[in-house]
Structure 1
Amino acid sequence: MSPEPFGARLRRAMDERGPLCVGIDPHASLLADWGLSDDVAGLERFSRTVVEALAGRVAVLKPQSAFFERFGSRGIAVLEKSVEEAREAGALVVMDAKRGDIGSTMAAYAETFLGKDAPLFSDALTVSPYLGYGSLRPAVELARENGAGLFVLALTSNPEGGEVQHAVRGDGRTVGATMLAHLAAENAAQTPLGSFGAVVGATLGDLSSYDLDINGPLLAPGIGAQGATAADLAGVFGAAVRNVVPNVSRGVLRHGPDVLALRESADRFAEEIRAAVEAA
């Protein structure tokens, strides 16, 4: 029997737990704020606390791979354990690794995070398409085979992204719009939600010139510390707002290491986002 697609599992998780993704971003300054050492022991304590606090109640957890990789093999071991425990507790895991390459190298990245028996198997992976969307084909195919998903960088919130993503191609479409069109094609026959989503910043303002109706999820960083609010979502995403997965990292994580405070913050964000989506 084929595994249930990521898009279907994500839709159910968002409906049941609220449309919220919380990042697991153990950068040095946040470890210090929590009173933890900037080493593997601090990393492990931080990650375990976030998973314990949130994996049983939020729809999605999104570990940022770089903050684990900087500690070498022991950091990767912590990441493996965090992914395993988060998924066992019912959260979907989006691995924020932003991988992108060609041919056998892209296939190896896909196996690392989307191979069904891989230690780092995640429900979805962030990927960069800027070697050409077709370079992502190994990841698309393996994700589809194993019931996983992808989030493709399309319209990111960092100011540098515009020089590539807003560049106009010969056919008159921007590069970002081209990525959205590719994703809509991937999701054409998927219900209730496609498994191939886009990363679109919640801080970008009016995006009505872009067709965000890709029948897939829109991972939206920028809520909280970056300045966007739940009330901004309808104005940015329009009719596609129900498929938005807002990502909050520092806005929740700054309340640690208190488990109850982390939960209360995540619950508050989830409720604000749910109310804003329902009112749109």
Structure 2
Amino acid sequence: MSAHGPLCVGIDPHASLLDAWGLPDTAAGVRTFALTVLEAVGGQVAAVKPQSAFFERHGSAGVAVLEEVVAAGRDTETLVVVDAKRGDIGSTMGGYADAYLRDGSPLAGDALTVSPYLGSGSLAPAVEAALATGRGLFVLALTSNPEGREVQHARDAEGVAVADRVARAAGASNAAELATTGGDLGSIGLVVGATIGDAATRLGVDLSAVRGPLLAPGVGAQGAGAAELAAVFGDARRAVLASSSRGVLGAGPDVGALRDAARRAADEAGAALR
């Protein structure tokens, strides 16, 4: 995925981590936290993933920090995945696409997480914007939270799992894009939890056929290692961007310790995904 290995470090400044780092639960504390993470891992890993909710909870000041983080990540030449999980219909989805995918928008990173559960077709404005600007999407498909199963694992009248419909839609978009541009991976990826076990196989989801990047949260502190990554992704493992948050962030606030933790996580993910 990158010369720095297939690791994405989450930037999740939730209250307990701020406290553990000795920082106030304020926009200023969030800023110090996020920029310290970037100082440690920027240019050292494939991507960073700021979780929008932890910035938004501090209002306009927090959103301003998110804008600063997106810009700072760009300056380190590290891909920035804005983890906002947006999903809506029509002009409202178009508004989200404009905010997070338009050239010149201060919230526009290199990719955005989106939710397809108003129907995969509802994401069309975001897909169009991503393709037009050279950005990417990560579509929620098989998440690791137990509550997700009641929707994602459900089967329609034809016996096809909802997650498989989501994967097929992403694959169709990537096939059309790659027929024109060539290359190995298209712009529309999936979020597939690294701790889901055999769910993809059980549900008939062919992750290799998606031909897009696969963002895999849950690596490290949440329990997924080499065996879990191999079991979940199989032949699609070379398309995986392994995401670790707590496993790296828990090493802070020392910049050197954070950098070392990220390097170990990147090496472990790289070995698992070869």
Structure-2 residue corresponding to 1:210: 205
In the alignment, is residue 94 of structure 1 matched against residue 81 of structure 2? yes
What's the offset of the Cα at 1:231? 3.1
Q: 1:38 aligns with which of 15, 20, 25?
A: 25
Structure-2 residue corresponding to 1:195: 187
In the alignment, is residue 241 of structure 1 matched against residue 237 of structure 2? yes
Q: What TM-score, normalized by structure 1, do the two folds share?
A: 0.93
Question: Identity of aligned pairs, percent?
Answer: 61
CA distance in 1, matches of 2:213, 2:48: 15
In the alignment, is residue 264 of structure 1 matched against residue 256 of structure 2? no
CA distance in 2, matches of 1:148, 1:210: 25
Alignment of 1:43-58 (within 5 A): 43-58=30-45
CA distance in 2, matches of 1:40, 1:273: 32
What's the offset of the Cα at 1:121? 1.0
Structure-1 residue corresponding to 2:67: 80
What's the offset of the Cα at 1:186? 0.8
Q: What TM-score, normalized by structure 2, do the two folds share?
A: 0.95
Structure 1 ranges of 4+ moved more than 4 A: none
What's the offset of the Cα at 1:229? 1.1
Structure-1 residue corresponding to 2:224: 228
SS where residue 210 of structure 1 aligns? coil
In the alignment, is residue 136 of structure 1 matched against residue 131 of structure 2? no
Show CA shifts across 1:10-57 (max 9, x none): xxxx23010000100000000000010111121111011011111111
Alignment of 1:147-226 (within 5 A): 147-188=134-175, 189-190=177-178, 191-206=183-198, 207-208=200-201, 209-213=204-208, 214-226=210-222
Structure-2 residue corresponding to 1:25: 12
What's the offset of the Cα at 1:230? 2.7
SS where residue 197 of structure 2 aligns? coil
Contact 1:55/1:87 (CA < 8 Å) preserved in 2? no
Q: Which runs of 5+ in 2 are unaligned?
A: none
RMSD of Structure 2 on Structure 1 (CA): 0.9
What's the offset of the Cα at 1:273? 1.1
SS where residue 71 of structure 2 aligns? helix
The letter of the residue matching 2:256 is: L
CA distance in 2, matches of 1:178, 1:192: 22
SS where residue 10 of structure 2 aligns? strand
* Count of residues paired in the alignment: 265
Structure-1 residue corresponding to 2:51: 64
CA distance in 2, matches of 1:275, 1:222: 17
CA distance in 2, matches of 1:30, 1:225: 14
What's the offset of the Cα at 1:192? 2.2
The letter of the residue matching 2:140 is: L
What's the offset of the Cα at 1:88? 1.1
In the alignment, is residue 253 of structure 1 matched against residue 249 of structure 2? yes
CA distance in 1, matches of 2:62, 2:142: 30
CA distance in 2, matches of 1:61, 1:34: 19
The letter of the residue matching 1:70 is: R
The letter of the residue matching 1:212 is: L
Q: Which runs of 5+ in 1 are unaligned?
A: 1-13
CA distance in 2, matches of 1:248, 1:276: 14
The letter of the residue matching 1:85 is: A
CA distance in 1, matches of 2:62, 2:167: 34
